[in-house]
Structure 1
Amino acid sequence: MSLKAEMTKLFAKLGKADRKMALDLEHPKRGSYELDLLNFTKKVRVKTFDVNGFYGVTINSSYPKDAHILMLPGGAYTLEPDQRIREIAEHFAVMEGFRVSIFQYPLAPEYTALAAHQCLMEAYEGLIKEYPKDTFYLFGDFSGGGLALSFLQELRDRGDLPMPHKTAVVSPWLDIALNNPKIKLFQKTDFILPVEELRVAGGKYCGPLETDHPFVSPLYGDWNHLGPILVFSGTEEIMTPDCELLAEKAGKLEGTDIIYKKGAGMFHNWIKVPSKETDGTFKLICSFYLDEA
């Protein structure tokens, strides 16, 4: 493991990162504007879009591929995207040549999963119409990964829009209620995620939905005919027990190929920290997207 990753884990423990997230979830800030077009590097072209008052941005470098990543940022369905989400999108655009759209879907506690899914569906449909020649891919981290996997199931059930070609998720939130008994064991090494506060935030996101509804807990949905899915989680985070349950479904599904990669010694959503491990993860994701074998 790189020194940067080791130091990140140490600082998370000493700095009580889980307590900080707990406070952020209790009093979520609004109006960060990290995705404002003026904040992006001049190496990309930026175009904004709006869906029912919710903001989105599409970026690309000078010579983009006809390959389009729809990014769904994490944040426990509650926190706004931070600077690092913008930097990840810029990496995909500048270093790999993708067109990248980030959609800031409705967040809790002001909105629930029903609003998030409705707006995301409209955003996806609009992007497909605007970029009809593009091949679309889904990417999500943490709650954005959970939403991406829920959205895949909704798209398949709807049946009148093209499915994303492939999907990649990092540290996805698969069960909104965090019911897996193994989570208690992983709490000993996860110094980033506060379990009880996540359950409270997840309950607000559910709104009228039961906690096992696929819109909020994709783990319990129908996993057939969703296409290729690449899943990452770290051995020291509480999202891993449910990712392991998902991996057990691999080989038993029709029309869905699940590839699960577990980061040894890695912490929750490590791609939020620039490091050797993060660079390697991005390379794997891009190879997965573009490999037609």
Structure 2
Amino acid sequence: MSMKTEMARIFAGLNKSDRKMALELEHPARGTAALDQERFTKRVRVKAWNVDGFPAFTINGSYTKAAHVLMLPGGAYTLEPSGRYREMAEHFAIEKQVRVTIPLCPLAPEYTALDAHRYLVRVYSFLAAEYPEDEFFLFGDFSGGGLALSLLQELRDTGNLPMPVRTAVVSPWLDIALSNPKIKIVKKSDPILPVEALKEAGVRYRGPLEPDHPFVSPLYGNWDHLGQILVFSGTEEILTPDCELLAEMAGKLQGTEIIYRKGARMIHDWILIPCKETDATLDLIFAFFLEEALGF
């Protein structure tokens, strides 16, 4: 672990990051505009568009491959994405030479999972029609990771759209109810995620759906025929017990390959911290997407 990552873990505890997130979830900010078009670097071209009044941004670099990443930001299905997602999208477009689309999904408590899924399917349908030559990849962190895996299951079930080639998720929220008994043990070492506040946010997000519905808890869905999925989580976060359950299922699945990487001493969603571990994780993800590394 780098000094920067260790300091981030220590400061998260000292600054009571879990309490801060609990307050943010109770009173989520709106209109933060961190992904507004004019905030992107001039080194990329950004196309702003919308579906049903909800915006999306497609980012291109100078030499774009026929590879298209649908990036789903985290935020407990409630919080607007920070500027860090803009920075990552710029990096992907410029350095990895892929096209990136970031949809700003309907958020709780104003909307529910049904609204988010309806929106995302329409977004994906638009992209498939607009960029017919592109291969699509799903990438999400935290709640965006859970949403990516839920969407993947939905796309397989509907069967009328091309399946993403590969999917990568970091610290995915797999069970909206956080019912795994091991979470009580792990939460002692998680300085960021507030369990009870997340459970309440989960209730607001799932709306009329049962807590085990795959739209909100992909862990309980059908995992067959989803292709290759790369999953990361850290030892210092409450979402890891469910990631471990998913990894245990891997050998029993048909048409799905799950590759699980657990980061020792890594905190929740460390890719939001610019550090060498983040660089290494993102490099692994794109090697996985573009088949550029041994071991995948």
Q: Same fold (TM over 0.5)?
A: yes
**1:126-137, aligned counterparts within 5 Å?**
126-137=126-137
Aligned twin of 2:83: 83
TM-score by length of 1: 0.99
Aligned positions of 1:132-143 closer than 5 A: 132-143=132-143
- The letter of the residue matching 2:237 is E
1:251 alignment partner, SS class: helix
Superimposed CA distance per residue, residues 9-54 of structure 1 (whole angstroms, 9 cap, x where no aligned partner)? 0100000000000000000000011111100011100001101010
Local SS of the residue matching 2:212: coil
How do residues 157-172 of structure 1 correspond to structure 2 at under 5 angstroms? 157-172=157-172
Residues 111-122 of structure 1 aligned to structure 2 (within 5 Å): 111-122=111-122
Three-state SS of the structure 2 residue aligned to 1:279 is: helix
Tell me the SS of whatever aligns to 2:71: strand
SS at match of 1:28: coil
Distance in 2 (alpha carbons) for counterparts of 1:203 and 1:104: 20
- Within 2, Cα distance between the matches of 1:265 and 1:106? 33
Give the counterpart letter for 1:162 in structure 2. Answer: P
- The match for 2:231 is 231
Output aligned runs, 1:190-209, within 5 Å: 190-209=190-209
CA deviations over 1:139-180 (Å, ceiling 9, x no partner): 000000000000000000001110000000000000000000
Q: In structure 2, give the amino acid aligned to 1:84.
A: R
Moved over 3 A (4+): none
Distance (whole Å) between structure 1 residues aligned to residue 186 and residue 89 of structure 2: 30
Pairwise CA RMSD of aligned residues? 0.8
Q: What is the DSSP-based 3-state SS (H/G/I as helix, E as strand, rest coil) of the residue aligned with 2:56? A: strand
CA positional deviation for 1:251: 1.5
> What is the distance in 1 between the residues matched to 2:67 and 2:13?
39
Residue 267 of structure 1 corresponds to 267
Which stretches in structure 1 are left out of the alignment for 5+ residues? none
Q: CA deviation at 1:241?
A: 0.2
Counterpart CA distance in 1 for 2:49 and 2:137 is: 18
2:205 partner amino acid: Y
Equivalent position amino acid for 2:162 in 1: P
Secondary structure of 1:250's match?
helix
Is it true that 1:40 corresponds to 2:35 in the alignment? no
2:191 is the alignment partner of 1:216: no
What is the CA–CA distance in structure 2 between the aligned matches of 1:239 and 1:98, rounded to whole Å? 29
* 1:247-262 alignment, distance < 5 Å: 247-262=247-262
Q: Would you say 1:124 and 2:124 are equivalent positions?
A: yes
Distance (Å, rounded) in 2 between the aligned partners of 1:61 and 1:156: 30
Count, aligned residues? 293
Which whole-Å CA distance do the structure 1 matches of 2:263 and 2:128 have between them? 33
* Residue of structure 1 equivalent to 2:280: 280
The answer to whether structure 1 residue 29 and structure 2 residue 29 are counterparts is yes
Q: Alpha-carbon deviation of 1:234?
A: 0.1
Q: Extract unaligned runs of 5+ from structure 2.
A: none
Matching residue's letter, 2:204: K
Q: Percent identity?
A: 68
